[in-house]
Every structure is written in structure tokens, then in C-alpha cells.
Amino acid sequence: MQKTRHRIRRHRHPIALGSATALVIAATTTASSNLPIPGRTSAGPVTAARPAGIAPCRIPVTMGVQMSEGIPTPAGYARSTGRIRALNLMIDFPDAPGPGPAMDRYAEFFPQTTKWFRTGSYGRLTYTPDAPVKSWLRMPLPFSEYGIDRGSPYEPGYHRLAEDIVAAADPKVDFSTYDLVNILVTPNAGPSALDTVLSVTFSGNADAPHADGVPLTNASFIYSRQDDGSGSYAQTGYRVLPHENGHIFGLPDLYTLEGGGSVGHWDIMSEDWGVNNDLLGWHKWKLGWLDNKQISCASKPGTSDHVLEPLATKGGTKLAFIPLSSESGYAVEVRTRAGNDQAVCRPGVLIYKVSSDVDTGQGPVSVADSTKGSSGCTRQPNVHAELSDAPYEPGETFTDRASGIRISVIDKDDKGDYRVRITRP
């Protein structure tokens, strides 16, 4: 059995640039591993028989928190619905010339990324990539002279690199016609992704510099290939791009410095290595891929039943949410091996806590494991095994004794829908 390789990323903090021609912007981080202590229980004395309004379940963004899980996502990030135009620029260096045609590098990510977003968004996001420059854009300095190291923030090295990219591309590119930018770096620049991960996204900065009259507020830099040697790279290597673009849409990192022990393979913002995986239902709601009518809000005291359809299918109720406080709550959804989820080995009801007051990389989401200490049900490379069998099955109950919340899986019907019973004091 091949041991899972955990990527190492350092915390990246928002940094603004003053250059009028430099690219982007703020940055991203990591996550935590155990369910946090529940916060205060939300108020709202209404009978459980009547459906609650959705407002108590839309926990808001917490001010001062980087990439908060709150809804709605603040202004400054890219739109996550409708047609998005993504500019792709392939760059190389004098000491790391592109090993083949630049469009071969482009083909490592497309059309797979477009399909992934189309499937995960139920067709609500049309991701349209473009590569107006078909050849490598040669940077004037060797890669080693930019001083880029391990997904480093927007420091002077990135400042200079961004200026050089814009200078090389501007004669052939109208930046004003694009919603986001992907810098596809030649994969022989820097160390292997098995040793360290340089890929980084700068996003959402209100002080973004301008090019062609528009602020370039969102860009992802993609470096070495995420090839674990398992032979799956052609099918899975592209997934670093939708992960990094997730930050452009305002989603935080869910993994920890130790790996994916907080969320496992249940969200691409946690693990983007290994076989395909989707986003959590909370993220789909945050991105506008789920409507309010598809959310069942359990904010009232008492007991209520909620019928949930699998997250991978289009339409129907997808998410039940139990607010604990104005900053946190439990999300409940059904995950199956369908759509973008290919590593699901125990279908069922996934339960996780969402905290809007926790920074990206510090544990904003934690999955409840129904089978703690089981070692999981998968042995696929680069899938967090312990949480692979986290979903709850009919007859099983999650209990949070501190808040008095109980979430019981009652049954599953012939269509694959699950009935969940939620009790709260």
C-alpha cells in the first residue's frame, strides 16, 4: 500500500502591491483536525413542525477573518456563477526552459478543469479558459533569482515576477476581458511537488494594481506537477487548478499543516491530490450553486425530520444546517460515489461543523467521523484514509453533548434519499 503523501504549505497572508502593472494580491492557508467546542446555541423559540426560515442558517462573514466561511462571500473575489473567462499564461525561465510546447502544459489542466466546474456547479458555472499566447513567455531572470519558496506570499520576488509577466504578455493580451488569471509555470522550475508545493493564489485584495484599465485582483500560480507516481496523473493532476481557483472564488484552505485530517477527501479545498472529489454542500451554497430553497434550516428547538437527496444529483434538498451560534453550526449532506466524487467508499450522511470566525488554514470546517479509529475504507493513493468512512448510515446518531444537538440517520429510500432527524434543545 502506498503511503499518502501530505503536502506542506506555509501560511500565506494578504499583501497588497503598489505597482500599476504588477499582478495580484492576497493569499491562502491551512486547516485543523478535531471538531471545535460548540459555541452558544442560537435562539428562536418556534415549533419544530414548521420549516424554519433560511436566515438563521446563513451565518455571516466574521470581520477580520481571512477567507471566512460566512455567507455571502465579500466583494473582491471573482464571480462563481455564469460565464467566467480565465486567462492562462505559460511562463518559463532562462534556467528552466519549458520542456515541450507551452500548449502541452495548458492541456494538463483543460478541458478537465472546465468539466469539473460544470459538474460540481450543476451547470451554473461556465468556466471558459483562454490561452491567447500559445508559446512560453520567457522571464528575463532565472527562476532562482526571484526567490520564490514554498507558496510564499506576495513578497518582492513575486512583485518582480508579476511585473515581468505583465510586461511580456501585455502587447498580446487585453487583461480587461478576463475574470481571473492562471499562471502555468514550467514544471521544471523549482522542486518537485512531492518535496514542497509552490502553487499559490492571490485574491480578493481591494488595493489590487491595474493593467489595461482594470484591477487584476485574482490570480493562481501553478508550479510543479502533482504526480505521486501512482500512474494517475493524467486523470488527477489537473485538480490543483480548481483548488487554487477555489480561493479566487473566496473559499479557504481546509487542510492542516499535518495534512487532510480535518476534512479528508470530502472537499477539494482539503485534498486536491489523488482521485477526484467534490466540494462540500456548504461551499456549493456559498458559491451560489445551491439555492436557498435547497437548504433545510433547523434553527428551532425540538425535533424535525429532513429528507436529503445526494449532493451529486441536480435539484432537491441538498443540505440541512443547524446553527449553534451566529458564527457556527453543523451541516448535514448526503455523499455518494457520483458526479465529482470518485473516492467515496462508504456512502451516507456526512456531518461537519462550519465556523465563520476561524481563518483559512486554522480549521474553519471539521468533519465528524462516524467510525473513529477504523483506518478508513479506502487505500487509494493520496486519499485521507481515516475519514474516508466518516459518513453516518441508517441507525447511527451523531451527538454533541455540549450543545444538546442530536443528528440521527433514520432511513434511506429506494431513490437514494436519506431521512435525517435533528433534535435540538
pLDDT in tens, 34-71: 333 333 332 222 233 334 589 999 999 999 998 999 99
Classify domain 82-249 at the CATH class level: alpha beta
> Is the per-residue pLDDT at 404 higher than 70?
yes
How far out from the chain centre does Cα 59 lie? Answer: 18
The number of residues making up the chain comes to 425
Mean pLDDT computed over every residue of the chain: 86
* Pick from 217, 138, 141, 243: nearest CA to 185: 138
Confidence of residue 216 (pLDDT cuts 50, 70, 90): confident
CA atoms within 13 A on the CB side of 126: 2
Count the helices and strands in the chain (H runs, E runs). 6, 17
> Is the per-residue pLDDT at 28 higher than 50?
no
Q: Where are the domains of the chain?
A: 55-71+280-424, 82-249
In contact, 7 and 260? CB cutoff 8 Å:
no
Over residues 297-317, the mean pLDDT reads: 97
pLDDT at 420: 98
Confidence of residue 230 (pLDDT cuts 50, 70, 90): confident
- Measured in degrees and rounded to the nearest 5, phi and psi for residue 275 equal -65, 165
Confidence of residue 202 (pLDDT cuts 50, 70, 90): confident
Confidence of residue 153 (pLDDT cuts 50, 70, 90): low
Give the percent of the chain with pLDDT over 70: 84
d(CA 398, CA 60): 25
> Is the per-residue pLDDT at 150 higher than 50?
yes
Q: Say what the pTM is.
A: 0.88
**Residue whose C-alpha cell is 460566512:** 70
- Measured in degrees and rounded to the nearest 5, phi and psi for residue 113 equal -65, -40
Over residues 205-234, the mean pLDDT reads: 81
**Which cell goes with 422?**
435533528
Lowest average pLDDT, out of 17-26, 96-105, 129-138, 156-165, goes to: 17-26
Residues 6+ apart with CB under 8 A from 331: 280, 281, 282, 319, 320, 321, 351, 352, 353, 354
